[in-house]
Amino acid sequence: MALTASTMLPLGTKAPDFNLPEVVSGKATSLSTFADKKALLVMFICRHCPFVKHVQKELVQLGKDYFTSDLAIVAISANDAKNYPDDAPESLQAFATELGFNFTLCYDESQETAKAYTAACTPDFFVFDSDGSANAKGERQLVYRGQLDDSRPSNGKPVTGADLRAAIEAVLAGKPVTSEQKPSVGCNIKWKPGNQPSYFG
């Protein structure tokens, strides 16, 4: 495990599109799947990472708390399943079922979606706004990237989701998100041999 921080993709970046299978239903999922929602939370997670395990109950709670809101949530796992079988699609399906995820969980086998988002660690969070008044084309723009909150597996601080929730609430209320954002920290995404992006390491 290599302790890794978010790349902190520039705010205002357009959300990269993707086409990935959802691990429970097998249905193809893309940005257009969530077109009817004002905001989109993209989370890069996996099953085996201790940093994800540390916050997984809060991820479930986020799904419950915002289920009827104007926020869409999609989680993506991009780890090399050959070397990390806990993160293979079948295992991810069990993971989603056991925890009761009510949001979409996709598997990025090629790891190209993770690269497009410059995802670096698990967990890694990205919030996009689609406010038509700010963008006539209705394209999603990055307004938050960084940590869930200040809690880490060994620091004794409670898992609250405070940082991410504040960003979500601001977007849903039509208010600006503070640009003072702390990077997420976790295990590095497990890139396939020879497939590491230029920003890794």
Q: How confident is the model at residue 100 (pLDDT cuts 50, 70, 90)?
A: very high
Q: How confident is the model at residue 138 (pLDDT cuts 50, 70, 90)?
A: low
Question: From start to end of the chain, where are the E strands?
Answer: 3-5, 20-21, 28-29, 39-44, 71-77, 104-107, 121-122, 124-129, 141-146, 185-188
Please give the pLDDT value at position 133: 44
Residue 10 to residue 94: CA distance in whole angstroms: 34
Closest CA to 74 of 136, 17, 12: 17
Please give the pLDDT value at position 201: 72
From residue 8, give the alpha-carbon distance in Å to each of 42, 64, 147, 180. Answer: 14, 27, 10, 11
pLDDT in tens, 77-98: 999 999 999 999 999 999 999 9
Asked if the model's pLDDT at residue 162 lies above 70, the reply is yes
